[in-house]
Amino acid sequence: MSIKNSYLFQLTEEQDNCLVFKLDEDNMYARVYILEEDIVRVFMTEGEQPKVDKTWLVAPGLEDVPFAGRDRFDVSLFSLPAYKTEQDAGSFSIETAKLKVVICLDGFQMTWYAREEQNGEYKQFAEDRATQAYNFDGSLGEGVYHYLARNRQEQYYGLGEKSGEMDRHGKRYRMHSLDPMGYDAETTDPLYKHIPYYLTYQPETKISFGIFYDNMSQSVFDMGNEMDNYHGLYRYYQAVDGDLDYYIILGPEMKQVVEKFSWLTGQTIFAPRWSLGYSGSTMSYTDAPDAQVQLHKFLALCEEHDIICESFQLSSGYTSIEDKRYVFHWNKEKFPDPEQLFQTFHDKGVRLCANIKPCLLTDHPMYQTLADANMFIQNSAGTQEEKAQFWDETGAYLDFTNEKTIAWWKEQVTEQLLKLNIDSTWNDNNEFEIWTRDAKCNGFGTEIDFEKLRAIQPLLMMKASYEAQKEYAPDLRPYLISRSGCPGMQRYVQTWSGDNYTEWKALKYNIKMGLGLSLSGIYNIGHDVGGFAGPAPEPELFVRWVQNGIFHPRFTIHSWNSDQTVNVPWMYPEVAEDIKNLIKFRYQLTPYLYNALYEAHAYYRPIIRPVFYEFSGDDKVFEPSDDFLLGDAMLVASVVEKGATTRQVYLPEYADGWYDYHAETWHEGGKIVLLPAPFDKPPLLVKAGSMIPINDDAATFATRKETRGIKLFPHAAEGHSEYTLFEDDGVSVLKPTNNAKIHLKMTVAKSQIDVRVTKTGGYQLPYEQISFYLPANEKRKLVVNGQELALEDDRFCIRVSDCEDGK
């Protein structure tokens, strides 16, 4: 029996793909926007105007959004497709070429349907809870609510970097950015980021859809943890403040949902190639009284142990005065000559990233000046700064909705970091832990409650750093890091899963956490390899963590070990050679990783992916697993159990099968295989038909150059595949004239493997030849651009000048 909500809406206006409904004798408005054939927005306000009239999260296809945000009513960036409507006494339906929504006007209860391509019939994929889906009269409690019906078979993914298993069904999560150092990767909630979005997969219909709430206040997602006999099975979203403004994104495939959501919230920043290299970091070095000496030692030991290091992240100890930290202050006792230090690092090919924090302690040398100018978030009366606990003492958070604060921040980044030859900003401790509900923000000239904009502060902080870097070096692509953030952070930064704890299960569940971020549109990610908090990792755990880390976009070994040790590649002599070789293997795979980063930027494709992302037709890949895909070709099987010497891997059903990357043996898809798992060769499989670009010449700390090999993994019998490799200098701002693409087409027959190589674009490649590699037991002849190639030193080579012109 369904209880009537007795809230009757009527259509009052229809214009620019927006249908406006109004609640009888009330001031509640419900707007339905038909934005794309597969994206519909529902926007509810109390009164005609929203509580927040700008959006910073919705940026379809954009690289950037103004500091003051975009008009929340602006739909100019959408295609606004044709649609049909139909109304009867109690309902209203809207239909596009791909979906239909039927609205019960009493209570505004919505039911969603996907159109099948084959027969044009509709299948239901979502519906609001029949009994009071919304909080029109405040009876459900504080803030805004949205209740959806659920069934027990549905699987829920996303919500960003949440702990535990990837399927969120049956759990309850709080979306509130905190600083949970040493968190339990299996159980701790909340964590660092605000990602109010999740994806639903329905095994019975094979339909996937996403729902995204454009709201910046703290919130709760109950994914079926709560039950109430009077309302059936349900899930709900509740936000403390702001409006209910949500987007339904129909796949129907999972990958379509993810890539559309990434497009909806903005383009992934195309970071420089060096950002993919091993990055060293530890709190211990910059906390040491002789920090500059310690950093020189780190560089010398990298060279001594032949560790290819591309960057180093300076923790906040460089800003200390006695035992406290003061952003943009250089401790000249620890760093008597920072310019000389940074020049030495640059001479060795190592870039530097400096930690910066958005909170000033009350005794910071610049605190009072900023307080007098009202550049901090203010108290409820708007009379003085709102003080909060921060690190060592009490401080105040900067207000990045104040144009004076933004200008000051950019000036400090430029004067205190960039002009000293710092290459990157590491935006840290930016969770903005303000607990007073009625604190105030400047709101770019219109005062607004902090809670309404809570998640925007870290986004605007990183944007201010981003703009400072762009303005200082306009010809170079910026690289930034941020710990906290929200949808849209991918436009500016690379991120990581924060201050994890050193234990085996952190390695296991960090994998799932990273995949949750990838399914949430945040692609350029990684983890603190080795564990940040707690004791030093034992040698075996350290090796296994490095094995996993080399397959993530961000590869940083970082630590603040409680036993005063430091996580560095040479920390255990018995495994130092293995660590060195794993880092060199990472360097070898950089062309493949860099191409994946380019595709994330250009085509909204995630870099790391759950196996079910590409193989959703195979039900077995939805079972809990520690495996993941790097790009669409590599299957990574990390070892996450102490004492394991082999790794059991399920190979997804794939007609052409899989290759063991190291042994080069072929395996049939849909089977379980047992792979060796030595310390120097992480279990790794490659989809047959793939072409993997590599740096194929030996590299050392001192000698690195761009070379290209293509590892061919042919179809077992016959087949055709294509791959396009993006090439540029790795640092310059992308322009039509400063890059090239190598197009590869492989056609495999019973007796011959035919590869066509063409080049487009005006960029002059830094290498003169391309080498091709076949599996050791491959007997078919290799023909490249019509010429049969002879094997020379285990490789087949062609000159770049012999590649066909793709124009």
Strands 351-356 and 424-427, bridge-based pairing = parallel
List pLDDT tens digits, range 526-583.
999 999 999 999 999 999 999 999 999 999 999 999 999 999 999 999 999 999 999 9
Query: Could you tell me the domains of the chain?
Result: 9-265 (2.60.40.1760), 311-342+349-495 (3.20.20.80), 690-807 (2.60.40.1180)
- 712: Cβ–Cβ under 8 A, 6 or more apart, which residues? 691, 746, 753, 755, 772, 773, 774, 775, 782
Q: Does residue 5 have a pLDDT over 80?
A: no
Best CA proximity match to 310, nearest among 340, 338, 284, 276:
276
The proportion of the chain whose per-residue pLDDT surpasses 90, expressed as a percent, equals 94
Q: Does residue 430 have a pLDDT over 60?
A: yes
Q: Does residue 3 have a pLDDT over 50?
A: no
Burial of 314 (0-12, 13-18, 19+ CB in 10 A): buried
Check residue 806 and give its pLDDT.
58
Helix (H) or strand (E) holding 387: strand 387-390
Best CA proximity match to 626, nearest among 67, 44, 185, 51:
185
Strands 207-213 and 197-202, bridge-based pairing = antiparallel
Greatest Cα pair distance in the chain: 83
Check residue 802 and give its pLDDT.
84
Check residue 382 and give its pLDDT.
87
* Section 577-594 average pLDDT: 98
Helix (H) or strand (E) holding 658: strand 658-660
* Section 25-33 average pLDDT: 91
Cβ-based neighbour number of residue 89 at 10 Å = 5
Check residue 627 and give its pLDDT.
98
- Coil, helix or strand for 619? helix
Q: Does residue 26 have a pLDDT over 80?
A: no
Best CA proximity match to 409, nearest among 320, 326, 319, 328:
328
b/e string for 249-288 if b means 16 or more Cβ within 10 A? Answer: bbbbbbbbbbbbbbbbbbbbbbbbbbbbbbbbbbbbbbbb
Place of tokens 């660590």: 579
List pLDDT tens digits, range 136-157.
877 777 899 999 999 999 999 9
- 693: Cβ–Cβ under 8 A, 6 or more apart, which residues? 591, 592, 595, 708, 709, 710, 711, 723, 725, 742
Check residue 760 and give its pLDDT.
96
List pLDDT tens digits, range 662-690.
999 999 999 999 999 999 999 999 999 99
Cβ contact 309:279 at 8 Å: yes
List pLDDT tens digits, range 177-221.
999 999 999 999 999 999 999 999 999 999 999 999 999 999 999
Show the tokens assigned to 402: 């104040």
C-alpha Rg value of the chain to the nearest Å: 27
Check residue 2 and give its pLDDT.
39
List pLDDT tens digits, range 446-473.
999 999 999 999 999 999 999 999 999 9
Q: Does residue 4 have a pLDDT over 50?
A: no
Q: Does residue 753 have a pLDDT over 70?
A: yes
- Coil, helix or strand for 133? coil
Where are the alpha helices (H) located in 388-532, listed in sequence order? 403-412, 456-472, 504-518
Cβ contact 558:532 at 8 Å: yes
Best CA proximity match to 726, nearest among 554, 592, 551, 550:
592
Cβ contact 571:542 at 8 Å: yes
Distance, in Å, from the CA atom of 327 to the CA atom of 342, rounded to the nearest integer, reads 19
State the DSSP string of 233-272.
SEEEEEESSS-EEEEEEE-SSHHHHHHHHHHHH-PPP---
Burial of 452 (0-12, 13-18, 19+ CB in 10 A): buried
Check residue 204 and give its pLDDT.
94
State the DSSP string of 274-325.
GGGS-EEE-HHHHHSTTHHHHHHHHHHHHHHTT----EEEE-GGGGEETTEE
* Section 641-658 average pLDDT: 97
Distance, in Å, from the CA atom of 118 to the CA atom of 436, rounded to the nearest integer, reads 55
Q: Report pTM.
A: 0.97
What's the mean pLDDT when you consider all of the chain? 96
Q: Does residue 807 have a pLDDT over 80?
A: no
List pLDDT tens digits, range 41-99.
999 999 999 999 999 999 999 999 999 999 999 999 999 999 999 999 899 999 999 99
State the DSSP string of 755-798.
EEEEEESSPPPS-SEEEEE--TT--SEEEETTEEPPPBTTBEEE
List pLDDT tens digits, range 352-362.
999 999 999 99
* Section 766-775 average pLDDT: 96
Distance, in Å, from the CA atom of 353 to the CA atom of 614, rounded to the nearest integer, reads 35
The proportion of the chain whose per-residue pLDDT surpasses 70, expressed as a percent, equals 99
